[in-house]
Amino acid sequence: MTTPNATIRNVRAASDTAVATILERCQTLARFSEIPGATRRTFLSAPMRECHAEIAKWLAPLGVATRIDAAGNLHAVYPAAVSPASDSIANSVAGSSLDQSVPTFLIGSHLDTVPNAGAYDGTLGVVLAVALLESLGGRRLPFAIELLGLSEEEGVRFSVPFIGSRALVGRLDEDLLRRTDANGISVRHAIEDFGLQPSAIPQVALGSNVLGFLEFHIEQGPVLEDLGLPLAVVEAIAGQSRLEFIFSGRTNHAGTTPMHLRHDALAGAAEWIGAVERAAQSVPGLAATVGVIEAKPGATNCIAGQTRVSLDVRHASDDTRRAAASGLIQIAQQIARARKLQVEHKTLLEQPATPMDPFLVERLAQSLSAIGCQPHRMASGAGHDAMILAERVPSAMLFLRTPGGVSHDPAEAVAPADIAKALACGLHFLQQLAESPDFLHRKYLQPESLKPDSLTDSEKRTRRA
């Protein structure tokens, strides 16, 4: 007979093995790369095919087949328990999600990478999804689980992100298909070169059978490490405003123009940059960044007559973000007036915040508590596939602590103990969904949380873009 302690030891051993497998698989996928000795795997590049084949190998023992949709996304369906009432034939067709009568919950992330990437951004979310299916030990839930390995999130090859998830929400349109990469190859041609059919893209869009989406992702920032927490539930993905400012003064000789007779555009921009930092520090959760500065004529012995600077403002609340951006515009105008400069600005991007689904967020928080973790909630400052899928299906994200906050770099890491907790949280979460009548009968569905009317005109354009 097994003693309770021995049972705990067995569970720990099983979990250690699962975590070791997850880490090993992330490293394996990192080797499928366009360049030797480093990881770079862009949209529909040759190593993406090896990546798909490797994942298919892991899933085969579960009897779960994979398929690649017309946008290059990998899908694998772990069938639902066959209920005598529904007796759905589709449940026995592994790998198919075309039958839209089977209630299906999606779990996954993206398989593409930035140049010189680490092994965990995106990949960990897919590998953890495989591990979750394995951990079910053959048990079927009242809904199918569809694993997603999304084809494109980083925007490296075509300078436009989320190609894979855009297709799933029906937004991979002609404009996007015509975009070209650095070699003049269009998205359409890339799809054809990979052996896929652009004409089948409309069928990639998710059906009404989809109950929701869960994405595991590394935080890619220092917040959880700073708090000493392994995991957090993402409550919302922050909205972004991107603007450009041009300060104009008068170019003149750096030696002959006395300080009190100058109209120095660069000094004016510099004063404003300091004010941007102070303003953002005074509002909780606000991030404001000046990342580009360009002074003209740009010579050591010239006073700058013109200075162009960028501004990136992010917050989980659209009202707070908009108020901050307009406050920073006013400060730029005040500084320009005081220095007898001109300042112009233009808005380049208005991306509204995306709230995650409250029902799923609450369940994830409960699962964190159940496994002994603090149910910390936070906003994501970076965009993720969940932001796009949330347009169509209830979506949620779980962040894993990122050592040193380092990401988009080969030094990217994740602690084995944190992976074990993420896996336990995911299993508990699935169990909760399986036992929730509200979930199974879709009573959790929120009224459209992002009503088009609540967006500004430029935000509507951005959403469509």
Residues lying near Zn ion in the complex (CB under 5 A) are found at 121-122
Q: CA 27 to CA 245: how far, in whole Å? A: 43
> Smaller CB distance to Zn ion: residue 64 or 233?
233
Q: How far is the CB of 149 from Zn ion (least distance, A)?
A: 12
Q: How far is the CB of 115 from Zn ion (least distance, A)?
A: 14
> Smaller CB distance to Zn ion: residue 286 or 397?
397
Contact 130, 75 (CB under 8 A): no
CA angle (35 as vertex; 33, 37 as ends), nearest 5? 90
- The contacts of residue 340 (CB under 8 Å, 6+ apart) are 249, 263
Q: CA 309 to CA 299: how far, in whole Å? A: 17
State whether residue 37 is helix, strand or coil: coil
Q: How far is the CB of 313 from Zn ion (least distance, A)?
A: 22
For the chain, first and last CA: distance in Å?
63
For 305, list phi and psi in degrees, rounded to 5: -90, -20
> Smaller CB distance to Zn ion: residue 15 or 395?
395
> Smaller CB distance to Zn ion: residue 306 or 395?
395
Per-state percent for the chain, helix, strand, coil, to nearest 5: 40, 20, 40
Could you write out the DSSP letters of every residue in 122-156?
Answer: THHHHHHHHHHHHHTTT---SSEEEEEEES--S-T
Q: How far is the CB of 125 from Zn ion (least distance, A)?
A: 8
Q: CA 80 to CA 8: how far, in whole Å? A: 29
Contact 303, 254 (CB under 8 A): yes
Q: How far is the CB of 399 from Zn ion (least distance, A)?
A: 11
> Smaller CB distance to Zn ion: residue 122 or 249?
122
> Smaller CB distance to Zn ion: residue 265 or 419?
419
> Smaller CB distance to Zn ion: residue 122 or 268?
122
Q: How far is the CB of 215 from Zn ion (least distance, A)?
A: 9
> Smaller CB distance to Zn ion: residue 121 or 146?
121
- The contacts of residue 403 (CB under 8 Å, 6+ apart) are 225, 413, 414, 415
Q: How far is the CB of 167 from Zn ion (least distance, A)?
A: 17
Q: Both tokens of residue 434?
A: 């399986």
Q: How far is the CB of 120 from Zn ion (least distance, A)?
A: 9
> Smaller CB distance to Zn ion: residue 122 or 394?
122
Question: HEC profile for 272-329?
Answer: HHHHHHHHHHCCCCCEEECCCEEEECCCCCEECCEEEEEEEEEECCHHHHHHHHHHHH
**10 Å Cβ neighbour count for 261?**
9
Tokens 């009224």 — which residue? 447
